[in-house]
Structure formats: structure tokens, C-alpha cells
Structure 1
């Protein structure tokens, strides 16, 4: 699914009565149908229910102001089911005490995030089956491996496999399971509410960034970088909820992060949004 096409379809859908339109199936294009698991045989009631549920679920991962903008823009919130998009924008503007122009910008921003989230967590992927209490990544920049440690929590019975944050296919489990193609298999299935810890040393290809893109809810990400034999970089940027496409884009500016006297950087991120990137990018000395 192309993100640009999904963004275009979402921007078209917000017009008029939004999800309350009388000919809704005609306004749900192929990208949005794929994101919401809409079938060709689905009638209007089913289409409306699927798209509403999917956009509501995805918007729950957004900051509160963007979530309100989404629920109003698509006429999901009952109080904002005015017949015109501009009326719904004014309703949201009054709720957040901002002018309508600001709310329209927030709707545009929220739609971009919704598309990114939809690509990161396809419909039917059981996004609530488990979550991460915390994950730690630690690496010496320029070396060939990274240490990662997870505490995962099952939100349903029977879960046994979990992906690595780095996606590394080669590595060694220090404790907590066995590794196969970037996935750790636990020694036994977890029951709902049960937590488990595992740790892995995996290979790290030479790069100028190290990030974690969660596909499920993640409460805490702890990142530690040490710049060793190559010396400290010219600049380190913290990436806090960036689009994946922006991670290696030199034109994207994150937050400048100082390197301490030991050549180390320590970053923490809380309540991560699934589908967005968190971590650091560095620029080597010329």
C-alpha cells in the first residue's frame, strides 16, 4: 500500500459528511479498503463500521489534540456530525480553544500519522495481543553488535514469539528463549497478563542511526550509545516519533543531544506511538 495514496483517500473522505456520507462505499478507495480490511461484498453499514473502528483505533495512539481533530474531521464523534467539514473544524476549534486554521493543520498532520500507523500495523494484525513494558538497546558505535533487552506482556493467552527491536536475523540469545530470523521464541506460551524478559546480542550493520519502530504499544524505550575508536560525532540528534522515511534524511532535524565526557549518549522515550521511529542519528566528523 502506498502511503501517499492512503493520505489522498483520507483527505478526500473528510469532505462533506465524512463517514456519515450516504454513498460511503463509493468514497472508500483501494488503499483505505486495504487498511481497514473492507471487502468488495461489504455493504454500506459494514463499510462504515470497519472504517470507523479502524480510524478510531489508530487515532487512539495519537496525542489528544490530534485525536480530537481526527474524530471531528471524519464525523466519528457524535457531537461533531455536522454536514460540512468546515463546520466540524469549527466545532473542534471551539473545543481546544484554537482558531480553525490551526485545527485544519492538525487534521493534515493527523492524517499523515494515521497513514504511517496503518502501514506499520495492518488491519487484522491483532495490535492488542501484547505490549512492551520496556526495551533497552545498547551499542558501541562502530562495533558489529548491539545488546537488546525486552520485557513483554501478553494481552491474550498463548503468545510465544516476539520480534527484535533491531530486526536482526543473526545473533545470540543471552537468556529467555531461542532466536530465529529476527524473532525470539519463548520456551513456553504466556498467559494473559503474564510478563517475560529476554535479552539478545545481534549483529549491527554499519549505520549512522539506531532506532526502534514499535509495532505494538511500548511504554519505555531506553537507548544507550557509546562512541569509541572512531571518536565522537560532530552532532547527535534525538529522533522522537519520526516517520521511518525521515530517519536517514539529512534534511530532517531532530533534537540535538550532547555527548558526555565518556563519549556516551543516553536517551529515554516513554509511551511510544506504534509505527513511528524513536532513537538517534549522528553525523560523523568531516
Structure 2
């Protein structure tokens, strides 16, 4: 059994919740009934176990509860074998094609999709729920003493421009009260002259929304951290979105995110255009020092017809590098 601390607002009067896989299984089986996550009102369907593992607060409304359930359950479901994944996406109405008003209708949709009978799909759903519950308990979403973490980081990098340009959209969650600034790890390294250090003029940064850039902090000879002051301090559990544009010539043929705080999702699109490198590899959870090793192997990636590659990483660990490297 795992003891999971939750925000005291998450389940008023309950204090610390003793969370077990059996607790999560029971609540997931109740959640799948009727319209599942599209039940209204939804709060009555969500007990202390799901509130804990999904970070649902007492004052969250139906829309916010639905979003938190979807954000937490979907990656767990998508990590399962295909048959269980399809069955559970249908059971909880996470797949748009299976958003039927009754559980039995969603079961039947999954049965047709999997070419199985309804009884087999019900067994798959029960099996999948057991596995999702075990995963949820094994990796509770709790980030102690860090202040905030990134729920989602989406980056689009265009290398077919005169100067490489990246658009970065980040959604963060406050893990404490009165979060007034964000210290953002750089995602776009800069090329200075050989042997020279980085100068302010070597990087272009524009804040599209979400705060005011108040200073830059040199971290190495090719990276500068950014400190962003928020419009208003965040309370614990609050979400905030930031949009940035960064422009810089790259020192190395790579694009890596080395998060300073935990990051749930990093989604990266890189556009090479007509000049697609001969070799593109995925880099996942490598040390920054190892990322500098050009001989290091990784999963090979292929660009599409538009000269683009798309990679996605989940549950990024602070201090490790995630992204891609290429060679002409």
C-alpha cells in the first residue's frame, strides 16, 4: 500500500488518503457507467482515490474534473496493449468515436473494432482497469517541495528559416501557494563564435503571453535560463500557460529539453524542410554530458514528406535530456 499526500482541498475532511490499487479499481468501475467522464454532474462519481491520483480539488467544477481525469487516465490507458487500450478508451468515453450515452453501447463499439464479442470486451475492460489502477498507484502524481511543475510543453522548431525559430507553449501547475516567478530551463541552445561565451544579443526571446521576462541566467557557454514573472501569483493547484518564441543559430545539430522541474508531457515537432539530414535519432532520458556524444546511438527517426519529425515524451525526469539529434 502506498500513502499518498494530497492537497487538503482535494477531499474535504478526509486528511491523508491511504491509496491502494483496489480503491482505484472500485472507483474506475463506477466511473465507466452511463456516460463515463461525460456524466453530469461528474463530481459525485469521483471518490477520494481518483481525486488523489488525478489531483482533483474540492472546488473543481465538472469541466475541470473531466479534463484532469482525461489527462491522467489517457496516458496510462495508451501504455497498455492495443486490445486493452481500445477497450478502455471506449469504456471511459475517451475515444471520440465511442462517446455513446450508455456503457453497453461503448462495449459493443469496442467489440466491433476488435472483432470480438461483447463478453470478451467486458473481460478486457476489467483486466485493463486492474492494470491502470496498478500503474496509477505505482506512479502517483505528487511533486513535493518543487514549487511547480510542467504539465505540458509543446514545441515547434523550424530549421528551414534564415535563423532557426522555436515556438514554445507551456502549461504549468503550482504545487505550492504564492508562485510568482517561473525559472524556465532553456530549450534552444545558441551558437556563439568558437571559444566565445554567450552574449545577450545571441538569442532572441519574445513572450507572447503569460508573463514578463525579467532576467536571463547564464547556465553554460551555449545556454541561458529564463526567469518569467507571472501576472498574478498562483495558488496551489492553479494552472498557468506561457507562450514564447525563441530564435537562435544552433551550436550543435540537436534539440533537447533538459527540464529543471518535473514535466508530464513534452511534444516536439521539428521541421527540416527540404534539407532533411541523413540520420535523425531520438534521445530520451540521457545525461546532458552523454547528449554531447555524437556517437551515441538512439532510436532512428524518419522525416515525413514535409520534411518534419514528431516525437513525444512523457514523465520527464529533471536533469535529463529529451529530444532529437541529427547528422547530415
Q: TM-score if structure 1 supplies the norm length?
A: 0.52
Asked if the contact 1:136–1:148 (Cα under 8 Å) also holds between the matched residues in 2, the reply is yes
The separation in 2 between residues aligned to 1:239 and 1:227, in whole angstroms, is: 17
CA distance in 2, matches of 1:127, 1:246: 28
Contact conserved, 1:177 with 1:187, CA < 8 A, in 2?
yes
> Which of 210, 213, 221 is the matching residue for 2:266?
221
2:257 aligned to which of 198, 212, 229: 212
2:313 paired with 1:269: yes
User: Which residue in 1 is equivalent to 2:27?
Assistant: none
Count of aligned pairs between the two proteins: 158
> How far did 1:251 drift?
1.6
| Equivalent-residue separation in structure 2 for 1:188 and 1:153 (angstroms) | 14
CA contact (8 A) 1:233 1:283 kept: yes
Distance across 1 between alignment mates of 2:175 and 2:184: 18
Distance in 2 (alpha carbons) for counterparts of 1:184 and 1:167: 15
* CA distance in structure 1 between the aligned counterparts of 2:286 and 2:181, rounded to whole angstroms: 27
Which 4+ residue blocks in structure 1 deviate beyond 3 angstroms?
167-170
Where does residue 170 of structure 2 map in the other structure?
A: 150
Deviation at 1:127, TM superposition (A): 4.9
Are 1:140 and 2:124 counterparts? no
Identify if the C-alpha distance between structure 1 residues 281 and 172 changes in structure 2 by more than 3 Å, giving closer, same or farther: same
Aligned residue in 2 for 1:202: 246
Distance 1:166 1:215 in 2: 9
What's the C-alpha RMSD, in Å, of the aligned pairs?
1.7
Q: Does 1:129 align with 2:135?
A: no
1:165, 1:137 → 2: CA distance?
13
Shift of the alpha carbon at 1:215?
1.4
Match of 1:175 among 191, 203, 209: 209
Q: Residues 210 and 280 of structure 1 are in contact (CA less than 8 Å); yes or no, is this contact kept in structure 2?
A: yes
Which residue pairs with 2:136 in the alignment?
none
Change over 3 Å in CA distance of 1:186–1:275 after alignment to 2 = same
After TM superposition, give the deviation of residue 172 of structure 1 in Å: 0.7
Q: CA offsets, 1:132-190, max 9 Å, x none? A: 10101111125332111100000001112223342666311111111232222111110
User: Given the alignment of the two structures, is residue 254 of structure 1 paired with residue 288 of structure 2, yes or no?
Assistant: no
Tell me the secondary structure at the aligned position of residue 245 of structure 1.
helix
Deviation of the 1:204 alpha carbon = 2.5
Q: How does 1:60-139 map to 2 (within 5 A)?
A: 127-139=145-157
CA contact (8 A) 2:160 2:271 kept: no
- Structure 1 unpaired stretches of 5+: 1-125
SS of 2:243 mapped into structure 1 = strand
Task: Pick closer, same or farther for the CA change 1:163–1:146 going to 2, 3 Å.
Answer: farther
Whether the 8 Å CA contact 2:210–2:242 is kept in 1: the answer is yes
Residues 176 and 198, structure 1, Cα contact 8 Å, conserved in 2: yes
